[in-house]
Amino acid sequence: METIQRSASEVNRKPRARDLGLPFSGTTGPANAITDVAGVEVGYSTVISDATPLGRGPARTGVTAILPRGSTGPVRAPVWAGFHSLNGNGEMTGTHWIKEAGYFTGPIGITNTHSLGVVHQSILQWMNKRPDTGVGPYQFILPIVGETCDAYLNDMDAFYISSAHVVEALDGASSGPLAEGNVGGGTGMICFEFKGGTGTSSRVVDLLGYRYTLGCLVQANFGIRPLLKVLGVPVGEHIRSNRLWAGEQGSIIAVVATDAPLMPTQLERVARRAGVGIGRTGTPVGDGSGDLCLAFSTSNLSTSESATAPAVGNLAFLPNNKLDPLFEAAAQAVEEAIINAMVAAESMVGREDRFVAAIDHDALRKLMRTYGRLNG
């Protein structure tokens, strides 16, 4: 019934925005992905099938798993985090505790709206089967699971995502280059009425004599065509074919990772700048959007029971007045990740024979060249 895709090493890498000559600002890491942040790993389970049981609609969905400390690291060790909601018509579990305590433990899952529950429970089961040595006991775990709605192409009420898919994504997590577009939780997603999905990007920043990496991964499922802007160019005003709807639609999950030492309040500020990157693509963030942004830092690792409340003297952090380069890096990386998701995505036919076209690379390049916004 399904195909499983875990990392870019198992699929032919699709073109990316920079491959088309789009001149995004900033210096990227080696893979231009969230996995450029040391220790961060990503896995996918991609579910695509027309031969579905009980005569239900087609499956066009999946799961994305992000492991902040990797599959061989101390999975239960907390990471400091911050959360920001541009508009709250969506769900990301565990964020109340992030607001309260400033950290979370374990993997992050991203999937479709109706599969949030099974992903949450499956992450707990996966973690309970692999206790980390050297990490203090925790009475409870609140996994981070975000969702966007793929119901235009996928029959969400068929509940195709199972615990096995979640485990496939978690166990298949890896570092290095990542597949984008129609993979993982982004399989059935739509962005500015083009086929959207999963995208990623990264930036390296020099601050106070140190080099830090910031990366992001998005599940892009938002926007209407006339509002689409690519590096400021009004692409949506020119590429008008295969329109889907008139009103603002959809949501986006943006996860930002960094190895820079930041406090939870500073990470919340970084999460807000992810919203700047989303806005650069042209969306006004409509009433129906669930535009949810999470930022975490892999710095300040502690594997003792006191990791949940380390002594003030043991917590390293950058001064607030030096954070502007990280703010800009977050905005740049999220903007590019969204465009990467669209560029890598392929056209898809889903439920009720609905067709969603991928953005035409040649048309995009021609338009960007007309506006003087193309390399080469």
Q: Please give the C-alpha separations between residue 191 and each of 18, 151, 213, 264, 265, in angstroms, as whole numbers.
A: 19, 14, 27, 30, 30
Enter the pTM of the model. Answer: 0.95
Residue 329: HSE in the Cβ half-sphere, 13 Å Cα cutoff? 30
* Residue 330 confidence (pLDDT) above 90: yes
Give the residue numbers annotated as catalytic, written as ranges.
Answer: 251, 289, 291
Question: Which residues lie below 8 Å from residue 100, measured CB to CB, with a gap of 6+?
Answer: none
Q: What gap in Å lies between CA 5 and CA 183, rounded to an integer?
A: 7
Q: What gap in Å lies between CA 88 and CA 293, rounded to an integer?
A: 10
* Residue 312 confidence (pLDDT) above 50: no
| Residue-averaged pLDDT of the chain | 92
Question: Which residues lie below 8 Å from residue 50, measured CB to CB, with a gap of 6+?
Answer: 58, 59
Strand order in the sheet with 103-104: 103-104, 79-88, 290-297, 250-258, 210-222, 197-207
Look at residue 10 in the predicted model and tell me its pLDDT.
Answer: 53
Domain map of the chain by residue range? 8-302+313-370
Q: H or E segment at 283?
A: none
Q: What gap in Å lies between CA 67 and CA 123, rounded to an integer?
A: 11
Binned at pLDDT 50, 70 and 90, residue 56 comes out as: confident
- Tokens 């059935």 — which residue? 188
* Residue 307 confidence (pLDDT) above 60: no
Beta bridge pairs of residue 201: 216
Q: What secondary structure letter does DSSP report for 92?
A: B
Binned at pLDDT 50, 70 and 90, residue 51 comes out as: confident
Look at residue 303 in the predicted model and tell me its pLDDT.
Answer: 62
* Residue 22 confidence (pLDDT) above 60: yes
Pair type for strands 290-297 and 250-258: parallel
For the stretch 70-87, pLDDT in tens is: 998 888 889 999 999 999
Mean of pLDDT values over 282-311: 80
Q: Which CATH class is domain 8-302+313-370?
A: alpha beta
Share of the chain above pLDDT 90, in %: 82
Mean of pLDDT values over 159-180: 97
For the stretch 93-108, pLDDT in tens is: 999 999 999 999 999 9
Binned at pLDDT 50, 70 and 90, residue 132 comes out as: low
